[in-house]
Amino acid sequence: MEIAFYATLERLVGQRRVELPLAPGATVRELTEALAANWPELGEHLFEATGELSRRVNIFVAGRNVRWLEGLETRVGEGDAVDIFPPVAGG
């Protein structure tokens, strides 16, 4: 599964895109846990102390923010694009 990182998160990972060997239909929780295992500093940005998705990131699956889907239980289909951004603000 290919995951793209943007802005400060790209610097934490050291590259724009990474490939993780997750099964099709894996959840965003499985994806983020695998990312945190590979890049512990990134894990600090992905999760709140409660284990929920941090407000410091936005994760999009197939162009849709997982916050408006099923959150960490959102399934990632085969071929779905996964993009992870820090929050964006401004005018």
pLDDT digits (tens, 9 = 90+) for 5-24: 999 999 999 999 999 999 88
Residue 90 counted as domain residue? no
Range of the domain at 34: 2-85
pLDDT of residue 59: 97
Residue 12 counted as domain residue? yes
**How far is the C-alpha of 51 from the C-alpha of 21, rounded, in Å?**
22
- Report the number of distinct structural domains present in the chain: 1
Write the DSSP assignment of 59-82 as a string of letters. EEETTEEGGGTTGGG-B--TT--E
pLDDT of residue 91: 58
- Report field, pTM of the whole predicted structure over 0.95: no
Residue 40 counted as domain residue? yes
23-38 residue pLDDT tens: 888 999 999 999 999 9
CATH assignment at residue 41: 3.10.20.30
Residue 91 counted as domain residue? no
